[in-house]
Structure 1
Amino acid sequence: MARRETTLQAAQGRLRVLIENEFRPGDKLPNERELADHLEVSRATVREVLGQLAAEGVVTRTWGIGTFVHDAGARVPVSIGDVVALRDRITASGHQPTLQDASVTRTGCPADCADVLGLPPGAPVWQVDRLFAVDEVPAAWIRDHLPLSFEGRAIDPSGLVSIDLDLFEFLATATGMPVRRAEIEMAAILADEEAVVRLGVPAGHPLVYGTQIGYSPDGTPLFHGHLTVRTDVLTLKITRGG
């Protein structure tokens, strides 16, 4: 396993250098076979490296057309280092956020969510589904789960179907406990059938998938969610305080 990771890292490093030195934004890269010959690795390794670079927004892959060097100026940079509404992050970048689709329903709590919120699997929770667009282009699909109540205080998140109300704002008002810390675990994935429908991308399109947990100042989990992001529309920047 370590040897394979070393091969992938080396191939990715060489491909980054190749892109930086010989290509410009918008240029089409050679096909996988040509890149494999140039990098002296297998096509499978090239395919995996291209998937990693696509997830980072370095390249854009279009099914049946090819792989292109992405124009970073066309994407919206979004920092995830602070607990700030996605809506406000997009607006701060000079772009227009909208909700293309949103729903709030009661459902059974998924097992991973139940572990976080301290509920039995299948217990009733609120499910908040929102599809955010940037300048009318689908960009981020977020599905959050919230308990029906906090400390005996029933909550009603139906207002979250509007772009004017953010989850963090809602929780601070509804529970009296602001989201002070959010943890996000991210991974690169390829679009499945549901992501194709939601985000308007072809099957196999590279995406970033994250699991997010929001905590109150005393460490109480307030929500558990999943987000799927198009990195050809949004770039995710992580800022660490020092």
Structure 2
Amino acid sequence: MARRETALQAAHGRLRQLIGSEFRSGEKLPNERDLADRLEVSRATVREVLGQLAAEGVVTRTWGIGTFVHDDAERVPVSIGDVTALRDRITATGHRPTLQDASVSRAKCPADCARVLGLEPGSPVWRVDRLFAVDGVPAAWIRDHLPLRFDGRDLDPSGLLSIDLDMFEFLASATGMPVRRAEIELTAVLADDEATERLGVAVGHPLVTATQVGYGTGGAALFHGHITVRTDVLTLRISRGGAPEPAPPAG
């Protein structure tokens, strides 16, 4: 095992040096067979090393198209460590957020959402789909689910069809309970047909998806959502520190 790890490390270093010396940002790399011949290693080793370099952000791999040196064009850093509107996080970096597409509809509550919201699977809920762009480029597709009623109040999320109203702002106004805490779980995924249509990337393009749950006072779950992000447009940043102060209503 140690010998194999050493061989992988050596191949990793040689391939990274090759990329840095012979290829420019955005250029396509030779296929795995040609790289294996140049490095005098197996194709399996090249494939594994390319996977490592993709995870490190050195290259971008797209199924059926090829492997490219990562484009050094600026990506927008967005913090996900607080409960601030995505719109405001993007604006704070000096970029322009827009809402390219949005819809609000009644839907059946998915099982994972039902567990969080304390509902029966298949119960009617609001589904809010929004596609955010940064400087005109599709960047984040957000699908949220929230109950039709909360604490005896009917919820009407139609205002979320405008970028002027954020989910946190809406919930603070509609429920009288601001989102105090958001739990986020990140997963690396490859674009499927629906993500391709929404975000304008090729099938197999690397993406990051985040499952987000927003909690109000007393730990009451207010919404459950999924955020799918193009990391060639946005970078997700998590800041850790001491105990946070109570978060104000987001906005």
1:115 is aligned to 115
In the TM superposition, what are the counterparts of 1:61-80 in structure 2 within 5 Å? 61-62=61-62, 65-80=65-80
For 1:99-156, what per-residue CA distance to the aligned partner results, in whole angstroms no more than 9, with x for missing partners?
A: 1110011111001100110000011100000001111111111100001111111111
Structure 2 CA distance for partners of 1:228 and 1:49, relative to 1, 3 Å: farther
C-alpha contact 2:62 2:206 (8 A) present in aligned 1: no
More displaced stretch, 56-65 vs 114-123: 56-65
Please show how residues 22-101 of structure 1 align to structure 2 within 5 Å: 22=21, 25-36=25-36, 38=39, 40=41, 42-43=43-44, 46-47=46-47, 50=50, 53-54=53-54, 57-62=57-62, 65-101=65-101
Superposed CA offset, 1:184-242 (max 9, x none): 11111111111111111111111111211111132111110111111111111111114
Partner residue, 1:235 = 235
The range that moved more, 225-234 or 23-32, is 23-32
Structure 1 unaligned runs (5+)?
A: none
- What is the Cα-based RMSD across aligned positions, in Å? 2.8
Within-5 A mapping of 1:93-242: 93-242=93-242
| Cα distance in 2 for residues equivalent to 1:154 and 1:172 | 14
The two structures have a TM-score, normalised by structure 2, of: 0.82
Distance 1:89-1:136 versus aligned 2 partners, 3 A rule: same
More displaced 10-residue stretch of structure 1: 72-81 or 97-106:
72-81
Task: Tell me the TM-score normalised to structure 1 length.
Answer: 0.85
Moved more, 18-27 or 160-169: 18-27
Distance of aligned partners of 1:138 and 1:221 in 2 relative to their CA distance in 1, 3 Å threshold: same
Does the CA-based 8 Å contact 1:80-1:238 persist in structure 2? yes
Distance, in Å, in 2 between the alignment partners of 1:161 and 1:232 is 26
> Percent identity at matched positions?
73
Instruction: Give me the whole-angstrom Cα distance separating, in 2, the residues matched to 1:132 and 1:230.
Output: 11
Deviation at 1:63, TM superposition (A): 5.4
Distance between the aligned counterparts of 1:39 and 1:217, measured in 2?
60
Instruction: Give secondary structure in 1 for the equivalent of 2:232.
Output: coil
Cα 1:105–1:27 shift into 2, 3 Å = same
Query: Which amino acid letter does the alignment assign opposite residue 70 of structure 2?
Result: H
Instruction: State the AA in 2 paired with 1:187.
Output: T
Closer, same or farther: CA 89–119 of 1 in aligned 2, 3 Å: same
Structure 1 residue 18: Cα displacement: 3.6
Q: 1:56 to 1:231 in 2, by over 3 A?
A: farther
Pick closer, same or farther for the CA change 1:94–1:46 going to 2, 3 Å.
Answer: farther
Q: Is the 8 A contact 2:12 2:49 kept in 1?
A: no
Report the AA paired with residue 104 of structure 1: V
Q: Is the 8 A contact 2:62 2:204 kept in 1?
A: no
| Equivalent-residue separation in structure 2 for 1:158 and 1:49 (angstroms) | 47
CA distance in 1 between counterparts of 2:11 and 2:86 reads: 30
1:219/1:192 CA distance change after superposition, 3 Å: same
